[in-house]
């Protein structure tokens, strides 16, 4: 299965919602087990954690240059060329524009950068446990196995509303990892459609969606299986449909996509929403079916795999 996609764009999300800069709960950052020493504490703005760029770049082994006139940071590591500009919501990785929710910015005289973007653009694992933020490079000795995030407890809940389930998924499963790949996800639930509890899952990073599509027919289930299992055990859902979309804003008309997938934002940009993968879980029969949705053929659906849970 192929997807012809011409635009690379991603929104880097962090799981806490806030609209102002705050540092009321100090966050400690480690890289490969070593604490990072900052002159100023990390801060949170609009739900995104930002850190001083010099200490974090140094610990990650990123060679860095600072252009005072342009207010621009350039980092280089392992063939990756990263550029962030203070005040700009567009970063660049090897020349490809990446959309940020929060730009690099100056806080009390120091330049702060989005932590999650830095870790993911360098291929590093990012784990969050309370106020501890852990970054680990897979290439370093002793870090070949990805640390596992703390799993939420799943006491059974009866009669939960759609909004409550949506908030739970967005709180605990906005980041899902499998086989050293990290996925940033957003959820919207729609219950009791065609006998299934349906969950819309939105992937805003092109490379993440390509990995989900191209790795193998059972791979999407390996990524999303824990989400389905929590819906079954916590919320008593026996029949679950998970529909995964590629979902992003494009700076110009993306004619590689079917017109039905494109919405004019009215400001010169366009919103793209492409359903790509469907997973149908039947916990009574203990089966899951994985379907591909072909965007080049009016979204025809084809069965990729059916197997036992």
Spell out the SS3 assignment of the chain.
Answer: CCCCCCCCCCEECCCCCCCCCECCCCCEEEECCEECCCCCCCEEECCEEEEEHHHHHHHCCCEEEEECCCCEEEEEECCEEEEEECCCCEEEECCEEEEECCCCEEECCEEEEEHHHHHHHCCEEEEEECCEEEEEECCCCCCCCCCCCCCCCCCCCCCCCHHHHHHHHHHHCCEEEECCEEEEEEEEEEEEECCEEEEEEEECCHHHHHHHHHCCCCHHHHHHHHHHHHHHHHHCCCEEEEEEEEEEEECCCCCCCCHHHEEECCCCCEEEEEEEEEEEEECCCCEEEEEEEEHHHCCEEEEEEEEEC
Confidence check: pLDDT of 151 > 80:
no
Tell me what pLDDT residue 18 has: 28
Confidence check: pLDDT of 69 > 50:
yes
Tell me what pLDDT residue 1 has: 37
Confidence check: pLDDT of 127 > 60:
yes
Mean pLDDT of 33-55: 82
| Of 29-38, 79-88, 94-103, 295-304, minimum mean pLDDT range | 295-304
Tell me what pLDDT residue 289 has: 94
Mean pLDDT of 245-269: 85
Tell me what pLDDT residue 214 has: 86
Higher pLDDT, 200 or 45: 200
Categorize the per-residue pLDDT at 119 as very low, low, confident or very high, splitting at 50, 70 and 90. Answer: confident
Confidence check: pLDDT of 239 > 70:
yes
Q: What is the mean pLDDT of the chain?
A: 77
248 class by beta-carbon count within 10 Å (0-12 exposed, 13-18 middle, 19+ buried)? buried
The rounded percent of the chain whose pLDDT value lies above 70 is 80
Confidence check: pLDDT of 200 > 80:
yes
The rounded percent of the chain whose pLDDT value lies above 90 is 17
Tell me what pLDDT residue 298 has: 57
Mean pLDDT of 18-35: 56
Mean pLDDT of 62-69: 88
Mean pLDDT of 223-235: 90
Tell me what pLDDT residue 249 has: 84
Write down the pTM of the prediction: 0.52
Confidence check: pLDDT of 254 > 90:
no
What are phi and psi for residue 127, nearest 5 degrees? -120, 145
Categorize the per-residue pLDDT at 242 as very low, low, confident or very high, splitting at 50, 70 and 90. Answer: very high
Categorize the per-residue pLDDT at 32 as very low, low, confident or very high, splitting at 50, 70 and 90. Answer: confident
Categorize the per-residue pLDDT at 128 as very low, low, confident or very high, splitting at 50, 70 and 90. Answer: low
Confidence check: pLDDT of 213 > 50:
yes
Mean pLDDT of 185-204: 87
Higher pLDDT, 177 or 174: 174
Spatial separation of the C-alpha atoms in residues 125 and 122, rounded to whole Å: 9
Confidence check: pLDDT of 15 > 70:
no
Tell me what pLDDT residue 145 has: 40
Look at the block and give the residue holding tokens 């240059």. Answer: 65
Highest average pLDDT, of 16-25, 98-107, 188-197, 252-261, comes from 98-107
Mean pLDDT of 254-261: 79
């Amino acid at each position: 299965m192929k997807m012809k996609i011409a635009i690379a764009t991603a929104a880097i999300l962090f799981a806490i919602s806030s609209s102002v800069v705050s540092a009321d709960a100090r966050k400690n950052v480690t890289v490969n087990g070593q604490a990072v020493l900052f002159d100023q504490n990390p801060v949170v703005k609009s739900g995104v954690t930002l850190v001083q760029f010099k200490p974090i770049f140094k610990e990650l082994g990123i060679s860095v240059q600072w252009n005072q006139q342009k207010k621009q940071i350039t980092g280089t590591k392992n063939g990756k060329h990263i550029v962030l500009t203070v005040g700009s919501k567009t970063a660049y990785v090897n020349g490809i524009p990446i959309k940020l929710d929060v730009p690099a910015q100056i806080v009390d005289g120091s330049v702060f950068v989005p932590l999650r973007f830095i870790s993911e653009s360098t291929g590093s694992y990012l784990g969050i446990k309370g106020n501890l933020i852990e970054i680990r490079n897979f290439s370093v000795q002793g870090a070949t196995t990805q640390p596992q995030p703390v799993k939420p407890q799943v006491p059974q809940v009866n009669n939960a509303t759609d909004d409550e389930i949506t908030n739970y998924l967005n709180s605990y499963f906005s980041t899902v990892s499998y086989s050293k790949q990290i996925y940033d996800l957003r959820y919207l639930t729609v219950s009791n459609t065609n006998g299934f509890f349906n969950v819309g899952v939105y992937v805003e990073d092109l490379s993440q969606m390509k990995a989900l599509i191209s790795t193998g027919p059972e791979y999407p289930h390996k990524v999303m299986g824990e989400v389905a299992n929590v819906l079954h055990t916590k919320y008593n859902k026996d029949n679950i449909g998970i529909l995964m979309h590629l979902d992003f804003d494009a700076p110009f008309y993306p004619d590689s996509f079917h017109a039905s997938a494109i919405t004019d934002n009215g400001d010169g940009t366009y919103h793209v929403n492409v359903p790509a993968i469907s997973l149908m879980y039947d916990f009574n029969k203990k089966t899951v079916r994985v379907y591909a949705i072909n965007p080049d053929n009016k979204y025809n659906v084809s069965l990729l795999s059916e197997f036992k849970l």
